[in-house]
Amino acid sequence: MKIENKLLAGATTILVSIGLATNLGTNKITGCETYQSGRTNDGDTLLTFDEKPYEERGLNGPNYALLGYSKMLKELKKGEQYKLEIRDPLIGSNRLISTEPCE
C-alpha cells in the first residue's frame, strides 16, 4: 500500500470517528423546568433553568445550565415553565435543542 493511501485511510478514520462521537448521543425530555436567565458570551448562549432564582439558590447550582441558541433568549420568558429537549452527546456539552411550554 502506498504511503498516500495509508495517510488517506488514517485521516478518513479520524474524521469519521470525530463525526460519530459528536453526533452520537441521546436526547432526553425533562419535566417542567422554570427558566431563570440566559446570556451570550463569546458566541455561546447559556440558558439557566431552576425553580429558584439565582439570589435564592446561594451556592447551589441550577437544575440545568445548558448551551442553547441565541434566538431562545428572545423566545423564553423568565419565570415561565418549559419542558426541555436536551441533547447529551458522547463528547462535548449538553445542548438545549427545543422547549415546549408547560400547561
**pLDDT tens profile 50-82:** 999 888 988 889 999 999 998 999 999 999 999
Rounded average pLDDT over 28-36: 94
pLDDT recorded at residue 30: 93
Given a cut of 80, whether residue 37 has pLDDT beyond it is: yes
Radius of gyration of the chain from its Cα atoms, rounded to whole angstroms:
19
Q: Exposed, middle or buried, 36 (CB in 10 Å: 0-12/13-18/19+)? A: buried
Q: CATH 2.40.50: does it fit domain 26-101?
A: yes
Tell me which of 93 and 35 has the higher pLDDT: 35
Domain segments of the chain as ranges:
26-101
Check: CB of residue 76 under 8 Å from CB of residue 35.
yes
Q: Quote the pTM value.
A: 0.73
